[in-house]
Amino acid sequence: MKRVHIALASAAVLLAPVVLAGCSPAASAESATCPNGQITFGIEPFEDPKKLEPAYKTVAESLSKTLDCPVEVQVLEDYSAEVLAMQNGKLDIGQFGPLGYVFASERAGAEPLASFGTAEGELSSYTGGIWVPKESGITTLEDLRGKDLALGSVGSTSGDALPRYALAQAGIAESELNLNYAGGHPEALLALTNKTVDAAQINSQTMGTAIKEGTFKKEDFRQIWESDPIPNDPITVAESADPEFKKAVKDALLNLPAKDIEEVAGYLGVEPAGQLIEVDKSTYQPLFDLAKTMNLTEEDV
């Protein structure tokens, strides 16, 4: 197997600028619900940071008002950076991908509080997929032998682990094809539309965004594999946080108006958006099982 990283002109910047949400002057004083005078909210780079920044600014402003504390949003450069940031006490709150949460839980003690709900009040989910051009002779996973497959980022749930698991389940050794890490979900999609690879992982979230933006015509491509539904990203808090802080953040998240999270939810494939839904570790047990089955460790992130 040859693993390479493919560079694309439209690749997202590595580290997005920080967005700071305001609050009342009194919030500058440290309290149980405002540690160190502010709350740092880390976000996984599941989409272009230039798109995520304004979306999460709205969420941060809403949280800031409820908690009476400035909320600083940081879009981290990759999955491992976010895990390390929480482990090192640099994040108070972190939104992780489902598999990223597994390692954040094990390495940084991340505790899930909430995830994204549908308008019907149910926990939302998404699916991973592998797509090819409609005229391609590739019709099954077995046909990927000897071909170039674009993955997203190392450590991604739908962009790395699940496609590789599907290949293993189909009896295809990774040495039998070329796995190309494009650098992210949008970049993998772009590699396919630019015809620089034979196939690419594209999850339902990224596809929905690309279709809305006019950068992907579904009728020009075919899906040859789809994963089971994956519970959407958990928003977590550091295990070491004060219990009063954990409760305050959880209450604030669960009571966020749907209108304040609808833009973020849209990037996660949740339309129309509902309020956030309470989750716990058991919600993501299938991902812990996947990591165990594939012998994944934090080194794989």
CA distances from 159 to 59, 97, 231, 233 (A): 26, 11, 15, 14
Q: Which domain holds residue 82?
A: 33-122+230-292
Shared domain check, 237 and 283? yes
What per-residue confidence (pLDDT) applies to 29? 56
What is the per-residue pLDDT across 272-290, written as a single tens digit (0 to 9) for each? Answer: 999 999 999 999 999 999 9
Shared domain check, 147 and 95? no
What per-residue confidence (pLDDT) applies to 9? 30
- Domain end: 226, 245, 275, which one? 226
Q: Residue 3 forms beta bridges with which residues? A: 179
Note whether residue 26 is domain-resident: no
pTM: 0.86
DSSP class of residue 34 equals B
- CATH code at 202? 3.40.190.10
Note whether residue 253 is domain-resident: yes
What per-residue confidence (pLDDT) applies to 2? 40
Note whether residue 208 is domain-resident: yes
pLDDT, tens digit only, all 301 positions of the chain: 444 433 333 333 334 434 444 455 444 456 888 988 999 999 998 888 999 999 999 999 999 999 999 999 999 988 889 999 999 999 999 999 999 999 999 999 999 999 999 999 999 999 999 999 999 999 999 999 999 999 999 889 999 999 999 999 999 999 999 999 999 999 999 999 999 999 999 999 999 999 999 999 999 999 999 999 999 999 999 888 999 999 999 999 999 999 999 999 999 999 999 999 999 999 999 999 999 999 987 666 5
Is the CB of residue 58 less than 8 Å from the CB of residue 267?
A: no
- Domain end: 197, 226, 255, which one? 226
Shared domain check, 131 and 108? no
Shared domain check, 214 and 239? no
Note whether residue 83 is domain-resident: yes
What is the per-residue pLDDT across 57-111, written as a single tens digit (0 to 9) for each? Answer: 999 999 999 999 999 999 998 888 999 999 999 999 999 999 999 999 999 999 9
Shared domain check, 211 and 161? yes
Is the CB of residue 181 less than 8 Å from the CB of residue 153?
A: yes
Shared domain check, 60 and 114? yes
Crossing angle, helix 98-108 and helix 285-293, to 10 degrees? 80
Shared domain check, 217 and 250? no
Q: How far apart, in whole angstroms, are the C-alpha atoms of residue 100 and residue 86?
A: 12
Note whether residue 11 is domain-resident: no
Q: Tokens 């966020």 — which residue?
A: 256
- Domain end: 191, 209, 226, which one? 226
Shared domain check, 269 and 195? no
Note whether residue 286 is domain-resident: yes
Q: What is the CA radius of gyration of the chain?
A: 19
Q: How far apart, in whole angstroms, are the C-alpha atoms of residue 164 and residue 171?
A: 11
